[in-house]
Amino acid sequence: MHTIKDGCTYLSSVMDIYSKKIIEYAYGKSMSAELAVKAVKNDCLNVKNTKGILLHSDLGTQYTSQLFEDHLCKKHIRLTVHIVISISWKSFGHKLNSKAKCT
């Protein structure tokens, strides 16, 4: 997301797959592991027992970082990942990820 005041900004969100609702998010000026951890920490405030929760993400560096993995491990949250094949990305990726490009 691009704003005049801050330039490129990023949104890390947590969606409940069952209800398809965004249940928590974190907003910041960098796409970092800290931002991803903040979104998950915010979500964990609403859940007493996080053991057994599955968190699904892509293979972005913020989600594969040691900081993020350590936080999930501490909360007993299991990480699953999604690999996007480049052919599929060209066919529907732009529709799913229509946002301003940061240069």
CATH of the domain at 65: 3.30.420.10
pLDDT in tens, 2-24: 677 778 888 888 888 888 888 88
Residue 25: inside a domain = yes
Q: pTM, whole model, 2 decimals?
A: 0.66
Tens digit of pLDDT for each residue in 22-71? 888 888 888 899 999 998 887 666 777 888 888 888 778 888 899 999 99
**Number of domains the chain is built from:** 1
d(CA 103, CA 101): 6
Domain assignment of residue 78, given as a range = 2-91
In this prediction, residue 89 carries a pLDDT of 43
Gap between the Cα atoms of 50 and 45, Å rounded? 10
